[in-house]
């Protein structure tokens, strides 16, 4: 999963070639916000992303270009390292999350994004979102291909459910 945040008068997040402007929840799974825009004192708006282990353990939270361990994340041996212009979150030999600083206040994240019930959300610069169950089987989301779209002013950009359904541009 990759996304980037560009600061301007209204918050804009780019996810898999699609732009979300003034959309507070970019990606939601069931009742869990996986990528959301929050107000931060120092920068105005930024993204917030919970990081779950594939077993559903809540490990860390990425807020803007910073990573914060949870108590459970500390118990698992999760490591967060800061390098110049880069934050890396690793578990064992596996990189779970990276945040790269770009020009100005913008940044780019790359992540293995799991849900609290173990589903894996696959999203990259390719425009087809995917949802993979705990057995490794991909759940098709209606053959949906979204590329180069702009979503403005809705409450939820993409809302995925474990049954494979997907709602786009939700105001509920």
pTM of the model: 0.77
CB atoms within 10 A of CB 89: 24
User: Where do runs of H (alpha helix) occur along 77-167?
Assistant: none
How does pLDDT run along the chain (172 residues), one tens digit per residue?
A: 555 554 445 678 887 778 899 999 998 999 999 989 888 766 678 888 888 888 888 988 888 777 788 999 889 888 888 888 777 878 888 877 777 766 655 666 666 678 898 887 766 555 455 555 566 655 555 566 667 788 899 999 989 888 888 888 999 7
Tokens 């825009």: give the residue.
Answer: 37
């Amino acid at each position: 999963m990759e996304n980037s945040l560009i600061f301007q008068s209204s918050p804009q997040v780019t996810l898999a070639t699609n732009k979300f402007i003034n959309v507070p929840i970019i990606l939601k799974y069931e009742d869990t916000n996986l990528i959301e825009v929050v107000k931060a004192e120092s920068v105005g708006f930024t993204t917030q992303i919970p990081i779950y282990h594939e077993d559903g353990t809540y490990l860390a939270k990425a807020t803007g270009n910073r990573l914060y361990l949870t108590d459970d994340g500390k118990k698992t041996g999760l490591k967060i390292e800061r390098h110049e212009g880069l934050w890396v979150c690793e578990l064992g030999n596996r990189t779970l999350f990276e945040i790269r600083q770009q020009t100005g206040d913008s940044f780019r994240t790359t992540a293995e994004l799991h849900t609290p019930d173990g589903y894996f959300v696959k999203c990259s610069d390719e425009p087809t979102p995917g949802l993979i169950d705990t057995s490794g089987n991909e759940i098709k989301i209606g053959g949906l291909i979204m590329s180069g779209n702009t979503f403005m002013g809705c409450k939820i950009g993409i809302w995925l459910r474990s049954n494979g359904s997907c709602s786009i541009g939700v105001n509920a």
